[in-house]
């Protein structure tokens, strides 16, 4: 392993940088120095410079300054979704390795441009799907790799909140985010599902989106938000048929009249067994089911961890694991766990659901 210490710049210092990227990088401070802090908000720049900055680190409100800094090796893009592709491509062109927060982009064309730029420049690119690093997710991954589920031909991707509209940031502004819960939390559930299935060959996608109940306040958490600029959907649903006939149902909602929320998880049904990732009070645990001794059986729940893997207790921090694996991939010139080719397909499916909802027609790949 190279002993070089990587110099990292962070562009965007909002919620996800505060809870995941900055502490994650700090956990591998023996391998990285955070040297540039960029945000529209100078106060945030100053705050995190003091907390996380290496010697000689600086702040700026202009992301171009970070991208064009020849001393920086790695850039983390944590900005509004609509700017992911522009900033990422500029950073790759400038010779930086890039971790871009999810979703990869707001549409397939922008995601494909990011992938093409990474390939052409020879720089590494990964997307922030830290849920793959959760203990429960790794538990299911091992079962899949061992062949316990067989051929997975049916899956459900779950990203549903009973009442949980984001009360901060620009999540409900379609002009800045490109969509609502589908692109915000549905993307995590879909990434996990495709990763387990090992299948990225899409045949046809259909879907529907709704804006029905989010602006009806119940007094619960997630009800007190700016209702004047709610331009996204509050729920979305998609049906994805793969080229080999396997099917996926994707559900994503910030507000839906269901009994229980279920987030950052999936249900898998294979020829030999299945897996259920079950959310309870914001935590996820996994249960396997199958056959033994001629009887249907199931395992005890696997590790219980916090959905999305940051912001509280619940086992080893997946954000720190994500950062460590990413930095090691850069230092050792290996592939990151989350490959950009995979993230492109996630983005294309999300776009197809929106397109199908607006046209009333299925989208064929």
**Mean per-residue pLDDT, 60-82:** 98
- Residue 1, pLDDT > 60, answer no
- Is CATH 3.30.360.10 correct for 132-320+345-364? yes
* pLDDT tens, residue by residue, 120-156: 999 999 999 999 999 999 999 999 999 999 999 999 9
Order of strands across the sheet that contains 6-11:
58-60, 32-38, 6-11, 74-77, 97-101, 125-128
Are the beta carbons of 332 and 2 closer than 8 angstroms? yes
Q: Give 167-207 pLDDT, tens digit per residue.
A: 778 888 888 898 999 999 999 999 999 999 999 999 999 99
Q: How confident is the model at residue 4 (pLDDT cuts 50, 70, 90)?
A: confident
Mean pLDDT of 255-282: 93
The pLDDT assigned to 217 comes to 67
Q: pLDDT tens digits, residue range 311-355? A: 555 556 899 999 999 999 999 999 999 999 999 999 999 999 999
- Quick check: do 6-128 and 132-320+345-364 share a fold? no
Question: Which H helix or E strand runs over 25?
Answer: helix 22-26
In whole angstroms, how far apart are CA 267 and each of 197, 205, 270, 294, 301?
A: 11, 19, 10, 23, 14
Hey, where are the domains in the chain?
Answer: 6-128, 132-320+345-364
**Confidence bin at 109 (pLDDT 50/70/90):** very high
The beta strand positions in the chain, using DSSP E, are 6-11, 32-38, 58-60, 74-77, 97-101, 125-128, 152-160, 202-210, 235-242, 247-253, 262-270, 274-280, 283-292, 295-298, 305-306, 363-364
CATH 3.40.50.620 for domain 6-128, yes or no, is no
């Amino acid at each position: 392993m190279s002993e070089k210490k990587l110099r990292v710049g962070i562009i965007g210092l909002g919620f996800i940088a505060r809870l995941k990227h900055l502490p994650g990088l700090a956990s591998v401070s023996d391998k990285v120095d955070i040297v540039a802090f960029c945000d529209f908000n100078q106060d945030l720049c100053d705050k995190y410079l003091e907390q996380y900055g290496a010697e000689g680190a600086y702040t700026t409100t202009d992301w171009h300054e970070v991208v064009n800094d020849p001393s920086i090796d790695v850039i983390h893009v944590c900005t509004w979704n609509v700017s992911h592709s522009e900033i990422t491509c500029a950073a790759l062109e400038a010779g930086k390795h890039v971790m871009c927060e999810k979703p990869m982009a707001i549409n397939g064309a922008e995601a494909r441009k990011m992938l093409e730029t990474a390939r052409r420049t020879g720089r590494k690119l990964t997307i922030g799907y830290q849920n793959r690093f959760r203990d429960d997710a790794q538990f299911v991954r091992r079962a899949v790799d061992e062949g316990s589920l067989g051929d997975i031909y049916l899956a459900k991707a779950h990203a549903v909140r009973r009442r949980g509209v984001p009360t901060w940031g620009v999540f409900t502004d379609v002009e800045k985010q490109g969509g609502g819960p589908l692109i915000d939390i549905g993307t995590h559930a879909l990434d996990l599902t495709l990763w387990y299935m090992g299948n990225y060959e899409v045949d046809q996608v259909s879907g529907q989106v709704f804006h029905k109940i989010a602006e009806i306040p119940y007094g619960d958490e997630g009800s007190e938000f700016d209702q004047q600029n709610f331009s996204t959907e509050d729920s979305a649903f998609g049906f994805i048929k793969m080229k080999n006939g396997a099917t996926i149902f994707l559900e994503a909602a910030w507000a839906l009249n269901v009994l229980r929320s279920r987030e950052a998880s999936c249900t898998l049904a294979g020829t030999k067994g299945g897996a259920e990732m079950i959310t309870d009070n914001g935590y996820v645990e996994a249960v396997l089911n199958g056959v033994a001794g001629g009887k249907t059986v199931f395992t005890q729940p696997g590790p219980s961890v916090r959905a999305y893997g940051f912001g509280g207790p619940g086992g080893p921090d997946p954000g720190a694991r994500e950062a460590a694996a990413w930095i090691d991939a850069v230092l050792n010139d290996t592939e990151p766990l989350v490959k950009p080719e995979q993230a492109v397909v996630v983005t294309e499916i999300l776009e197809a659901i929106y397109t199908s909802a607006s046209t009333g027609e299925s989208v064929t790949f």
